[in-house]
Amino acid sequence: MSEPTASESRPYHHGDLRRALIDAARRLLEAEGPAALSLRAVAREAGVSPAAPYHHFKDKAQLLDAVADEGWLIMSRTLTEALSQAPAEDRLNPVMLAYVRFARERPALYRVMYDAARIKESLPLEASGGQDRAYERIRATVVEQGTQPTPLDVELAITAAWCAAHGLAEMAGFRQFEPLKSELGGEVPFLDAVLHHMGLYRSGRTA
């Protein structure tokens, strides 16, 4: 009876259901967490039937891959931006902080990104082809920043930085760190402080 408004009326053909499904997946992740991310739930959230996604993705894994890929792409842009705004004499810390903040602000998405990588046993370093990629950002920063004697040391330092950022991103949510966070004035100062202390737990070094 009532004439449908623009928002109510959805044409039979969606327009860009692939896009809409990925967006729906991200909305679900925010709201319900990774465990709620079934193919059916994503279709439901996007307002289509359970079979509709199969016109755009081979199976559930491929949909999750697409969500993860998009996550890594946004991550990459975030790091690039952090890099461009960082002072020349200290670039690594801002980039690492940007990495950890990205993960902490979207923990469910980050989980999906990492799970996808784990299934492939491979970080998405070669994804999406360009130079605009997260790993390249970190690598370039380490090479530029450090006084690394050998290429081997560069590789090891990159690995160490990446692991540190990942570890902090995964652990920052634990309750044990609440006192530390409030003492330092919030989560971001806490993250920054921990990053600055990476490597400072060794004897014979000072800040």
Partner DNA sequence: TGTACATCAGTGAACGCGCGTTCACTGATGTAC
| Cα separation, 179 vs 103, whole angstroms | 21
Both structure tokens of 181: 């966070």
> Which partner, DNA, a second copy, none, binds residue 199 by CB below 5 to 8 Å per kind?
a second copy
Q: Residues, the chain, total?
A: 207
> Scanning residues 143 to 182, which ones bind a second copy (CB under 8 A)?
145-147, 152-153, 155-168, 170-171, 173-177, 180
Query: If contact means CB under 5 to 8 A according to the sort of partner, which of DNA, a second copy, none does residue 5 touch?
Result: none
Residue number with CB closer to DNA (68 or 169): 68
136 binds, among DNA, a second copy, none (CB under 5 to 8 A by kind): none
| Count of CB atoms situated within 10 Å of the CB of 65 | 19
Q: Which of 167, 164, 70 is nearest to 112 (CA)?
A: 70
Q: Rounded to the nearest 10 degrees, what angle do helices 92-105 and 187-197 cross at? A: 140
**Which residues have CB under 8 Å from 117's CB, separation 6+?**
68, 123, 124
Nearer residue to a second copy within complex by CB, 20 or 98: 98
Q: Which of residues 17-56 bind DNA (CB under 7 A)?
A: 17, 36, 38-41, 47-52, 54-56
**What does the binding site for a second copy look like in residue numbers (CB under 8 A)?**
89-90, 92, 114, 117-118, 121-123, 125, 142, 145-147, 152-153, 155-168, 170-171, 173-177, 180, 183, 193-206
